């Protein structure tokens, strides 16, 4: 069955100005909740009938509220969690060592060839995301699926969809609560319908 797939990055998390979060687990800030609410209002033009989420709080808390409001089940899946970032995960940037700064810069250039210290390899990260994605797709039919996840998770889906190497990940960027829309058809390569980093105005 063909369907619309909307991938939404979570809004701003508490402490996001000071640290980078992988699988550390801060909740959304008040601004982050407002951003997600604005993005969700925009989706009303295409009724949502399936929702999945990372199980980290900055995704799952809003996803649970959205699923309850629509009276549909939430597919909560740790396979959609952000990549494990090792020693820098949740650590204030001002406390990073010189080696950690170097490792981050190399990872940004090519996460496949330069994994973070004690972090998850890009191959393992991508594999678990697509295992989770395929399991969700197989769990039931839907016309508009929404996945609330992380920038890294969404990048990994886009790279695989477009058959691009991990070194191209920096060419895709999503603002907090930014979204990507794909048309997914098992008989054809997925079609990129749009990327939006602009939130609609408040009503």
- Model pLDDT for residues 19-63, shown as the tens digit of each residue: 999 999 999 999 999 999 999 998 878 999 999 999 999 999 999
* Percent of the chain clearing pLDDT 70 (strictly above): 99
For residues 118 and 86, the answer to whether their CB atoms sit within 8 Å is yes
Region 165-193: what's the mean pLDDT?
A: 94
Q: Is the pTM of this model over 0.75?
A: yes
- Mean per-residue pLDDT over the chain, rounded: 95
User: Domains (ranges, CATH) in the chain?
Assistant: 3-196 (3.40.50.1240)
* Predicted pLDDT at 201: 67
Is the pLDDT at 106 greater than 90, yes or no? Answer: yes
């Amino acid at each position: 069955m063909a369907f619309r797939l909307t991938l939404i990055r979570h809004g701003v998390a508490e402490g996001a100005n000071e640290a980078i979060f992988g699988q550390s687990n801060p909740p959304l800030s008040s601004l982050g909740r407002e951003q997600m609410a604005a993005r969700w209002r925009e989706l009303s033009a295409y009724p949502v009938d399936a929702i999945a989420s990372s199980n980290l709080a900055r995704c799952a808390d809003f996803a649970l509220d959205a699923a309850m409001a629509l009276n549909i089940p939430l597919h909560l899946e740790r396979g959609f969690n952000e990549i494990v970032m090792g020693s820098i995960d949740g650590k204030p940037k001002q406390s990073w060592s010189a080696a950690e700064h170097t490792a981050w810069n190399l990872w940004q250039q090519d996460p496949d060839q330069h994994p973070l210290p004690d972090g998850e390899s890009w191959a393992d990260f991508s594999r678990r995301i697509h295992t989770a994605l395929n399991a969700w797709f197989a769990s039931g039919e839907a016309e508009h699926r929404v996945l609330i996840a992380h920038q890294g998770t969404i990048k990994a889906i886009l790279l695989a969809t477009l058959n691009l190497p991990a070194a191209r990940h920096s060419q895709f960027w999503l603002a907090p609560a930014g979204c990507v829309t794909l048309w997914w058809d098992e008989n054809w390569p997925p079609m990129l319908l749009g990327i939006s980093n602009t939130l609609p105005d408040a009503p």
